[in-house]
Amino acid sequence: MKTVIIGGVAGGASAAARLRRLDESAEIIILERGDYVSFANCGLPYYIGGVIADRKQLTLQTPESFKARFRIDVRVRHEAVKIDPDAKTITVANLTSGETYWESYDNLILSPGAEPIKPDIEGIDSDIVFTLRSIPDTVKIKEYMTKTQPKSAVVVGGGYIGVEMAENLKEAGLAVSIVELAGHLIAPLDFDMAADVHRYIKSKGIRLYLNNEVKAVKDHTVVLENGALPADLVILSVGVRPETFLAQDCGIRTNRRGSIIVDQSMKTNLPDIYAVGDAAETENFITKAPAFLPLAGPANKQGRIAADNIAGFPSAYTGTQGSAVLKLFDMTVAATGLNEKGAQAAGMDYDKVYLYFGSHASYYPGANPMSIKALWDKQTLKIIGVQIVGFDGVDKRMDVLAAAIRFGAKITDLCGLELCYAPPFGSAKDPVNMLGFAAENIVTGKVKQFFWHDVEKLPRDGSVTLLDVRTPAEVQRGKIDGFTPVPLDSLREHLAEIPKDRPVYVHCHSGLRSYIACRILTGNGYDCFNLAGGWRLYESVINERTVPEYICTECQ
C-alpha cells in the first residue's frame, strides 16, 4: 500500500508518522515544495524577536530524521503540479533539477496548508513588506533587519500572529504600530475583553490604529484610510486563504472560501483522497456549521485521523472549537468556543457572566487577577464559549474550560469540579468553580444582571435607584454618573432611604460586592440588578471606546 502526502508541515507530517506507526509495511512519500518539513510555524515570531536564538530549533524533523526513524521518503523542493484521480498519479516537479516525473498512489493525503493574504494595494510588493508563514519568510525578515537596522515597524492585522510579531519587534528595539481594520484586536475576543488587551499593549509602547485600513505603502510610509505612519519594515498579517488550486483542478469539491470539503474521516469526494489541515473545511464543534479555523492542534489531529482510516482503523474528526492561547509580553490571552458575535450569528439564545478573580490564593504573594467571560446556551445550559485575559494561570483555567465544552458540560457543572489546590497555585474555590457559582446564581434567579452596554440607557430621572457600593476611596478614583455611593458595609443602615417601589441597579468594582448588596436588597423586598463585571469592566470598555487613537501628523 502506497500513500503519497502533499505537504510536509503539521497535518502532513503528523499523518506520515502516524501511518508508519500503524503499518510497518506501507510505502510513504511526502512531497514538500519548500525547503523544510515539520517545522514550528507558531515559533517563527520568537525567532525574529530573538527568544529562539537557533533557527534549527524551529525544525522538528528533517528528511534525514524521517528516513532514519520512520523509513519515510521525504522529498523537499518537490512540487505536486497535477493530480490525475482516474489514473491515481501525481505529476511532480523537482524544483532543484527542473525534472518533471509522475508518482502513483493508492491513497493520497492533501496537506498544502494556506497562503498569506496580500491585499491589492499600491506598494504591496515593496522590499520593506513581508509576510510570515514559513522558515524562508522568517529568514528574509531576520536578514533584512540585520542588514538595514530598521527603527520603525507597522504590523498590518491584529490577530494572533500580528500581535505576537508586534511584541517581538518591540522586544527587538523597534517602534511598533498595529493597524487593524476591525474595532479591536484578536477576533476571537469580544470588544469588552479586548479592551484590557488594548490598554496593556499600549502601555508597552505599541501604538494601535483600530477601525483603520492600509491604502498604500510608499517611501517608507504606510498610508492609512485615516492618517499615515513611518515604517522601515511592514509585516502583513491579515489572514490566510486555503491553497487548494491543485485540488480544484482535479475535481475535488471546495467551498466558496476554497477549503476542501471533507467528511469526518477526512475523505474528499474523490476515492482514496483525503485532505487535512488549513486547506480542509472543518465543522464548528458547537454550531455544527462549516468553519475555517487554521490552527496547528486541529491540523495534527486531522492528519492522525486520515492515517487511521487509511490503515483500517475507523476514526472521525468531530469538529474544531477554536481553542487558542497568546502570550503578549507578560499577559496571557486565551479563548475557546464562540464569542458573542459568533453566538448571535448562529442564532443562539445565550446568557453570559463575567468574573474577576485572582490566579491563586490572595494571601500568597504574587497573585494576579484574571478577567473571565463565559457564554452558555440558555436552553441546555451548555457552555458555548469562554475568554480569559490575565497574567498568571490563564492557560490552565482555559484548558479545563475547553475540555468542559468538549465533553458537553453545563455552566453549572463547573460548581462541582474538584480541582487541585495549594496557595501558590490556586484557591480553595478556583476561578473555574467561581465561574460556575456566579452562573448558577443567574440561572436559578438568585441575582439579575445588567451589563456595561446598558448603563447609559438607565434613566436618571428617579424612576430607578442607582447605587455604587464601593468604598469612598474607590469612588474618588472614578465613578459612573448618576450612581449614589453607599458603601456595602453600611447598606443595611440606609435601607430606609431606598424606595421599594422601583428597581435598584447596583455596582461595585468587580461585581462581587454588588452581588452581596443585591442579596441584601432582595432579602428586604427590593427588585435588584447587579452590574456584571462591575466598574472595572465598565471603565475599561468605555475608556477604550472614547480615547482617540494617535495619528502621526508629521507623516500626513
Give the DSSP letter string of 414-481.
GGG------TTT--SS-HHHHHHHHHHHHHTTS-EEE-GGGGGGS--SSSSEEEE-S-HHHHHT---T
Query: Residue 433: how many CB atoms within 10 A of its CB?
Result: 20
Torsion of Cα atoms, 449 then 454 then 459 then 460, to 10°: 90
Give strand pairing partners of 114: 242
Consecutive H or E run containing 299: helix 296-310
Name the β-bridge partners of 112: none
Q: How far lies 403's CA from each of 317, 369, 386, 391, in Å?
A: 16, 22, 11, 21
- Helix (H, G, I), strand (E, B), or coil: what is residue 333? strand
CB atoms within 10 A of CB 296: 17
Q: What residues have CB less than 8 Å from 481, skipping those under 6 apart?
A: 460
Given the residues 42, 415, 552, 555, select the one marked as catalytic: 42
DSSP 8-state class, residue 483: P
Position 320: which residue type?
T
Contacts of 550 (CB under 8 A, 6+ apart): 207, 209
Are the CB atoms for 303 and 315 separated by under 8 Å? no
Query: Would you call 42 a catalytic residue per the annotation?
Result: yes
Q: What is the rounded distance in angstroms from the CA atom of residue 368 to the CA atom of residue 335?
A: 19
Cell triple for 89: 498519479
Euclidean distance between CA atoms 383 and 51, whole angstroms: 36
**How far is it, in rounded angstroms, from Cα 315 to Cα 309?**
6
Locate 31 and state its grid cell.
Answer: 512531497
Residues sharing a CB contact under 8 Å with residue 31, sequence separation 6 or more, in sequence order: 4, 5, 6, 7, 8, 75, 78, 79, 80, 90, 92, 103
How many whole angstroms separate alpha carbon 197 and alpha carbon 333?
8
The amino acid present at 369, given as its one-letter code, is: P
Residue type (1 letter), 529: F
Buried b / exposed e over 44-59, threshold 16 CB at 10 Å, is bbbbbbeebeeeeebb
**Cell (9 digits) for 215:** 491604502
**Closest alpha carbon to 154 in 75, 216, 198, 64:** 216
For residues 145-180, b (16+ Cβ closer than 10 Å) or e, as one string? beeeebebbbbbbbbbbbbbbbbbbbbbebbbbbbb
CA dist., res. 367 & res. 148, Å (int): 42
Question: Is the Cα torsion angle 272, 300, 262, 238 positive or negative in sign?
Answer: negative
Single-letter code of the amino acid located at 345: A
Active site residues: 42
